[in-house]
Chain A
Amino acid sequence: MTDLVPLALLMALATYPSRAIPLLVSRFGRLPAPALAYLRLVGPAVLAALAAVNTVVAVTVTDDSRRIPALHVGVEWLAVLACIAIVGWRKNLLLGILVAVALVAGARFAGIA
């Protein structure tokens, strides 16, 4: 089946401008110092937001297509915090991810999550 391939193409077209415009517009390559300072901080801020939102917020979709966000409390919090601690302590992302997965899998296997 290839029915969804055109949808993939449309999604790619919707994504590409946000990835490309700053890279292709030469003005972004010659930004003043305060703008560069701001952009330097974007990485940790976006990645931390991604991690936190994907850990703490669960979204349910209603029958009428509405997205309802809600606070999610679970073992995933502990797993992500463990990963942060390991990366900060041992500078080892792979180990941090493995420990996080093991914590969540263990808790679910034991029936406590």
Chain B
Amino acid sequence: MSAAGFGFVYGLSARTAGFSPIEASAMSVLVFGGAAQFAAVGYVAGGFSWAGIVLLTAFLNARHLLYSAALAPWFADRPRVERAAMAHFLTDEAFALSITHLRRLGRRDRWGYWFAAIAATFIPWNLATLAGVLAGGAVPDPSRLGLDVVFPAAMAGLAVALVTGRRELVAAIVGAVVGVGVSLAWDPAIGIIAGGLGGPLVAMAMPGALMGIHPDAPDRLLDEPADRPR
């Protein structure tokens, strides 16, 4: 839902900025990163340099480093070629869906990742991009449809699904607050990374008693894939 809605809005935006269907689709297939693609649409329309756009893309997508690191222990035993392929399809949605699934299972499930990345994200994103860029002319004022709220609503909902305890709740709240604060003071791309790094730090620094964890109980946060090879 999120990928389809957001992809459709991206297709509309790309058409408005003068992208051809091939160019809009090339972005969605090759870059496959919503925020960076939206920024690129604005920058191309503004006539900015390619070097600046590429640099901004690297900053905007740097948060994937955190996703990749969080998923790495789950797929450490997979062949390098498969992990290299997995990396291209790692997006906000693919990460949220797959990490929720993996934690629920408590064991590895590479097909769960591939389903989240390809069936639930890559295919809808690309079909919706094409639909948006081809059908854009028939939608006089896309912003009135409220589709721009699909992405933040989906991210918020996916975050809620990952909040399974007080520590995750603290990480989410602090991540949001730090993210907004740094974004307003500096830049959203930096803010998102700062929130993603700072939220977990604060959550881990909270005393166990405050987090509802008995001093003698093993901290559930220290879990890991049950079938992790030793």
Known: A9-B30, A19-B88, A47-B96. A100 touches B153 (CB 8 A): yes
Q: Is the CB of B196 within 8 A of A79?
A: no
Nearest residue, chain A, Cβ from B230: A30
Q: Is the CB of B72 within 8 A of A22?
A: yes
Report B146-178 CB contacts with A as 1/0, cut-off 8 Å. 111111111111111111000111011111111
Q: Could you tell me the distance between the alpha carbons of A15 and B90 in the complex, rounded to whole angstroms?
A: 10
**Cross-chain contact of A41 among B23, B36, B151, B200 (Cβ < 8 A):** B200
Is B209 an interface position by the 8 A CB rule?
no
B contact face: mostly helix, strand, loop, or mixed: helix
Known: A24-B80, A104-B149. A37 touches B188 (CB 8 A): no
Report A17-46 CB contacts with B as 1/0, cut-off 8 Å. 011111111101111011011111111111
Is B139 an interface position by the 8 A CB rule?
no
Chain A residues near B44 (CB-CB < 8 A): 4, 7
Q: Is the CB of B146 within 8 A of A105?
A: yes
Chain B residues near A5 (CB-CB < 8 A): 22-23, 26
Chain A residues near B16 (CB-CB < 8 A): none
Q: Is the CB of B191 within 8 A of A49?
A: yes
Cβ distance A113 to chain B, nearest Cβ, rounded Å: 9
Residue positions of B touching A, CB distance < 8 A: 1-2, 5, 19-20, 22-23, 26-27, 29-33, 35-36, 40, 42-44, 46, 48, 50, 52-55, 57-58, 61-73, 75-77, 80, 83-84, 86-88, 90, 92, 95-96, 99, 143-163, 167-169, 171-180, 183-184, 186-188, 191-192, 194-201, 203-204, 219, 221-224
